[in-house]
Amino acid sequence: MDHRILQTTRELIEEVGYPALTVDQVATRAGVGKAAIYRRYASKAEMAFVATMHDRQPPPSVGTGSLHGDLLALVRTFHARMAAPAARELAPALISELAVNPGLDTRFQDTFLAAEQATFAEIIERAVARGELAGPVDPAMAHLLLLGSLASALYILRLPVDDAVVTDLATAAAAGITALAERHHGDSGAPAEPS
């Protein structure tokens, strides 16, 4: 049933657009009751996000053995989802909806975005353990550097994003995360003096 709901949601977003999408439409086409949808998803926005981006847990973090490799694997997975037609249709409308609906924004921060940042925390912890980073970096900053840049390229700047661009984003994010770790922890692991 979940697969049917999510597939139908993706199809309808591509056909009618996110603003015109209704839970009634999804229920009718998927052959399920509205109550079944609302048992799974708190809102139309949440249903659409799960259908186009990821469930309450993002794709698992792949341990490649390097910070750059881990970030590249993650951003490639997100790019495949974020560049899909339904996601491109959803993202601008969802961002607008989050801006005017504090309850929805809080729910997204506490579920989807917190899960994404936990993935970045794992990547950073592995890099620190390998000695690649001088110390931990705020996962929210790492999230911003990589996925924030990808979202901006796709949805705001509307750039053509291919694997070369995705690789460059991972390289830039790895360099930024490394620089932040050095700034905050220095070579000795002690906090750096404020400048």
pLDDT at 195 exceeding the cut of 70: no
Q: How confident is the model at residue 53, as a pLDDT? A: 84
**pLDDT, tens digit (0-9, with 9 covering 90-100), for 18-69:** 999 999 999 999 999 999 999 999 899 999 999 998 776 777 788 999 999 9
C-alpha distances in Å from residue 122, one per residue of 65, 129, 156: 13, 11, 28
Judged against a pLDDT cut of 70, whether residue 189 lies above it is answered with no
What share of residues in the chain are helix, strand, coil (percent, to 5)? 70, 0, 30
- pLDDT for 63 equals 92
Query: According to the model, what pLDDT value does residue 54 have?
Result: 79
State the pLDDT at residue 192: 42
* Nearest alpha carbon to residue 71 among 19, 124, 11: 124
Whole-model pTM: value is 0.85
pLDDT of residue 190: 45
DSSP tag of 186: T
Confidence of residue 187 (pLDDT cuts 50, 70, 90): low
Q: Would you place residue 126 in the very low, low, confident or very high pLDDT band (cuts 50, 70, 90)?
A: very high
Maximum pairwise Cα distance, the chain: 62
For residues 90 and 38, the answer to whether their CB atoms sit within 8 Å is no
Does the structure show a pLDDT above 80 at 194? no
Q: Is 189 helix (H, G, I), strand (E, B) or coil?
A: coil
pLDDT of residue 65: 96
Asked if residue 81 has pLDDT above 60, the reply is yes
pLDDT of residue 56: 66
| Mean per-residue pLDDT, 144-154 | 96
